[in-house]
Homo-oligomer: A and B are copies of this chain.
Amino acid sequence: MSLHAHPVGLADRFRSVRDLSAALVSRLSDADASVQSMADASPAKWHLAHTTWFFETFVLRDHVPGYVLHDARFPFLFNSYYEAEGQRHARDRRGMITRPHLDEVLGYRAAVDAAVLDALDALPDVARDLVALGCHHEEQHQELLLTDILHLFAQNPIAPAIWEGARKVPVQMPGPMGWIECGAQVTEIGHDGDGFAFDCEAPRHATLLSAHAIADRTVTNGEWAAFIADGGYADPRHWLADGWAWVKADAIDAPLYWERAEDGGWTRFGLDGRRAIDPAAPVTHVSFFEADAYASWAGARLPTEAEWEAAAAGYDPAVGNLLDAAGPVEPRPSADGPAFFGDVWEWTGSAYRPYPGFRAAEGAVGEYNGKFMSGQFVLRGGSCASPRGHVRASYRNFFYPHQRWQFTGVRLAKDL
């Protein structure tokens, strides 16, 4: 990552990040927080503990002389994938850890929080950078925590709602998609080193854009329903071969969490339970395969990540439907002009690969991003579950092309 000054407020920043995590689980029972609904997801309790382990290991253990581990058994339980940190509990067995209890994990958090805050002023810069990294790391897990708990509740036949739904403000349907044109040109993308970024966003480098247009908004639920109604899921011509195999094998015929209502319309499951879809809101919980097929059906394509970043560079990444507090986050319709941040992560057509000159960080945190650079596609822009302030134009998220339990959506592009 690229780290610079934390002139004021690292303690405040740390506190506010840590508090939000606690708020997100405030309505979860011990069982809600302990069960793992699939191998891709982790229990909420595990997210709470793993983010704490990150601070305890890379800050307290490595930089606070005399620090004694809160519990010597926790590194084995709560290391995620850092090979350099030794053996760890199998990822797909995280749901077996009913002990420690949720209360004990919250106690672990409190103890580590106190130790970090106590040590913070005296920490060397490298350790303060790790505190800042840990905050960004925890923000990533806040988003995963929300999407994982949504996935868990979706498995329960009684479809529990964690929160009451947000008040729905009547919104006009968005008008036709507009297109932002861009001529062929050399431009620069990647993080410029001003403020925090993850290692995979660097180095900033020149890239060549071909002439293209990019949509000024994402695809809506209503548009997606038209794709379904037109037989989009049944026509192999729109689909990548791997995507078509996935559609057939898993009997995919709609976005994740969509179900037909008795009246023939569609419902979706969300953190506020099962409700009718909002045709004006951005479609979400679609895979790359679905996004690509939709684009093909629409006579368009997905943008590259460079096209996306060039288009988004002029917008404020802190404006939009992003996560501010615990609650029933979901994509929402907007009547405003072009927006690139929040609501849904937007699948790009770019495979997640290193930028020219990319180098992983030294040490265990060097495992942060580089080793995942095969088989995944880049997503951009953040979602309604991304903490406000977490994303930026250069931010690269990545998932496998079949995954869709995140708040993922679609923006179209086309060649000029």
- Answer whether A152 and B96 are a contact pair too, CB < 8 Å, given A73-B157, A240-B374, A241-B371: yes
A97 touches B156 (CB 8 A): yes
Give every chain B residue within 8 A of A158 (Cβ-Cβ).
Answer: 73, 77, 97, 99-100
Q: Across the interface, name the chain B residue whose C-beta is closest to A235.
A: B83
Chain A, interface size category, equals 35 or more
A375 to B205, CA, bound (A): 25
| A172 CB-CB contact with B under 8 Å | no
B156 touches A372 (CB 8 A): no
Interface residue stretch chosen among A7-15, A254-262, A348-356 = A348-356
| A25 CB-CB contact with B under 8 Å | no
Interface residue stretch chosen among A32-40, A113-121, A388-396 = A32-40
Looking at the complex, which one of B96, B244, B349, B356 makes contact with A155 (CB distance below 8 Å)? B96
Q: Across the interface, name the chain B residue whose C-beta is closest to A239.
A: B371
CB distance from A243 to the nearest CB of B (A): 7
Contacting B at CB under 8 A, from A56-102, are 73, 76-77, 81, 83-84, 89, 93, 95-102
B415 touches A401 (CB 8 A): no
| A170 CB-CB contact with B under 8 Å | no
Give every chain B residue within 8 A of A236 (Cβ-Cβ).
Answer: 83
| A173 CB-CB contact with B under 8 Å | no
Contacting B at CB under 8 A, from A358-416, are 371-375, 377, 401, 415
Contacting B at CB under 8 A, from A204-219, are 205-208, 210, 212
A372 to B243, CA, bound (A): 10
Q: Across the interface, name the chain B residue whose C-beta is closest to A73.
A: B158
Q: Across the interface, name the chain B residue whose C-beta is closest to A243.
A: B374
- Answer whether A99 and B160 are a contact pair too, CB < 8 Å, given A357-B210, A374-B288: yes
| A186 CB-CB contact with B under 8 Å | yes
Q: What are 23 sample pairs from A and B whose C-beta atoms fall under 8 A apart? A: A29-B30, A30-B30, A31-B45, A31-B99, A34-B34, A35-B35, A35-B98, A84-B237, A96-B152, A97-B157, A99-B158, A100-B158, A186-B186, A206-B210, A208-B208, A210-B356, A210-B357, A212-B356, A240-B373, A241-B371, A349-B354, A351-B351, A375-B375
Give every chain B residue within 8 A of A288 (Cβ-Cβ).
Answer: 374
A183 to B99, CA, bound (A): 54
